[in-house]
Amino acid sequence: MKLRRDISSKPRKQRKRLYNMPYHLRHKLLSAPLSPALREKYGFRSIPLRTGDKVLVMRGEFTGFEGKITRVDKKRMRIYVEKIVRKKTDGSEVLVPIHPSKVMVTELNLKDEFRKAIVERRGGEVG
């Protein structure tokens, strides 16, 4: 049963909405859950990812790898973690894109004043 008349429930239109979404709204979709320790400390479940956050890969080929986020690609909706690389045929190494739903945040980057304000606004203590 359709709940809202103003929003389509058709998968095709949902995909189109994702593909055509502006970058400032895509950032919220690039969220990941916090580790149980951080969840206890800050009092919320998930947060949009930023460069410098430390994450643990929970699913896929690189399960168990941990590292800092080096890049957040809002266009492709992927993140890049520092030690997760793949060798090309010419021998050079490239970072592997990972979907943010497959990671868990283990450490937040709180060097940015705006990020600190977000954490405090959501009920967390920045110490």
pLDDT in tens, 18-35: 999 999 999 999 999 999
Stated pTM of the model: 0.88
In this structure, is residue 33 part of a structural domain? yes
| Whole-angstrom distance, CA of residue 95 vs CA of residue 68 | 12
Domain containing 85 equals: 11-120
Residue 127 has pLDDT above 70, yes or no: no
Once rounded to an integer, what is the mean pLDDT over residues 95-120? Answer: 94
| Bridge partner list, 105 | 34, 55
Structural domain total, the chain: 1
In this structure, is residue 1 part of a structural domain? no
In this structure, is residue 23 part of a structural domain? yes
In this structure, is residue 102 part of a structural domain? yes
